[in-house]
Chains A and B, each alone.
Chain A
Amino acid sequence: MAIVLESKKLVKTYGNLHAIRNVDLLFKDNIIYGLLGPNGAGKTTLMDMLSGGLFPSDGTIKVQEEVLKKGDTPKGMCYVREKNIHFPRLKVSEILRVASPFYENWDWAFTKELLQLFDVNPNKKISQLSRGAQSLVGNIIGLASRAPITLFDEPVLGLDVIMREQFYNVLLRDYADHPRTIILSTHLLDEISKIVEEIYILHTGSILLNESMEVIRSKAHIVSGKPAALKDFLSNKNILNIENYGNIEVASVFDEISDTEKRDSQKLDISIAGMSLQKLFTDLVEGVRKHD
């Protein structure tokens, strides 16, 4: 698989503030990625740099194997910002007309379908739309552009659960028909855990974890049992967090647990369950905070 977007030792500082510290990223073609992190982790700063809108303090970005220089607009990339209010007085239809020529794969039939699906009135001005509907206009551009690299920054912010589902559905459907690299930043982790193939977790400007969702699903466990038995069972495992509730302890574990070990656990009265992405994320971030 070809690498379509990468960064090496990317740094962004504002005076003494280190917004992004030495971030290496690698995005391959035709994969959906999740860029996850708590508020203030640097997700938007990172996306601004990847799309050429913000120049890094240090490090390099390559788009389709070409180094991104200051002032360059990367080819074949569509970046849907979290705040899409640059032209509040334009109508939705005008925004779409302005945006479309930048993307060679733009599909007008799909655009119309999306307007109907998301119930967005093309004759309304951007400033008249709700926060959710503004997100949707950005999402329509991101989807209809069919750009080989599409970045969505918090695409479901302000959307109700039904609209979020619609967005994920149409994204997956269109991705199946027109594979491309899609990067979604979000803090709604469990919603996107089935949508994305690989994730980056960003925390205070650094990458905490880069892993495929399949590996995460096979490694992220909640293991509980009596303290002594648990300590023995987990002696060589990567434990993220352990909580004591008197006679029982509950551990978050990020490690493989073999079938044999699972069988043994039954005899030891140890229970093993899967851990959600949300819980893994919280424990990873909390673990780092404690060390700081």
Chain B
Amino acid sequence: MKASFDEGQPIFQQIAEMIEDGILNGTYEEDGQIMSTTQFSNVYHINPATAVKGINLLVDNEILYKKRGLGMFVAPGAKAKILSKRRKTFYHDYVMKLLIEADKIHLTTEDIIDMINNGLKE
């Protein structure tokens, strides 16, 4: 989890991403309970309404569901949904940045592929 928030992106979106990361790395399991909005507010010093908004975003996307009186839980199939969404944006978010930077410093596609292969071996 991160200790502070980036400027330039609404905090509620960053809260939603943090929860998604938690689901991807197994911190939160499907049908498991996540932190409450009050806990998010306390830990990150944010307005509780912001935490509610972040959680509601994930409820709308069927990543989380609410159990009345108990709190928020991870929906079955949430992990697969997040994986599919993140894979779709991976090219724009990571690969394109990599290619632009590589071009700037005169690295060829082969150089990059070599690095990736060597990196995976380590």
Contact = CB atoms under 8 A, between A and B. Distances in A.
Interface of A: 31-32, 165, 168-169, 172-173, 175-177, 194-197, 213-214, 217-218, 220-221, 259, 263, 266-267, 272-276
B48 interface: yes
Contacts, number: 71
Nearest to A257: B8
**Which of the four size classes fits the interface of chain B?**
20 to 34
A194 B43 CA distance: 12
B96 to A, nearest CB: 7
B46 to A, nearest CB: 5
A274 B92 contact: no
Interface in B38-56: 38, 41-42, 44-50, 53
B48 A217 contact: no
Task: Give me the 8 closest cross-chain CB pairs, A-B, nearest first.
Answer: A274-B8, A274-B7, A214-B10, A176-B48, A176-B38, A217-B10, A194-B46, A266-B100
Nearest to A190: B7
A220 B47 contact: no
B97 interface: yes
Given A195-B47, A197-B49, A214 B11 contact: yes
Contact of A172 (B9, B11, B42, B96): B42
Contact of B48 (A175, A263, A267): A175
Interface of A is mostly: helix
Interface of B: 5-12, 37-38, 41-42, 44-50, 53, 92, 96-97, 100
B37 A220 contact: no
Nearest to A259: B92
Given A172-B41, A176-B48, 10 more contacts: A165-B45, A172-B46, A173-B38, A173-B42, A197-B50, A214-B11, A214-B50, A214-B53, A217-B7, A266-B96
A214 B46 CA distance: 12
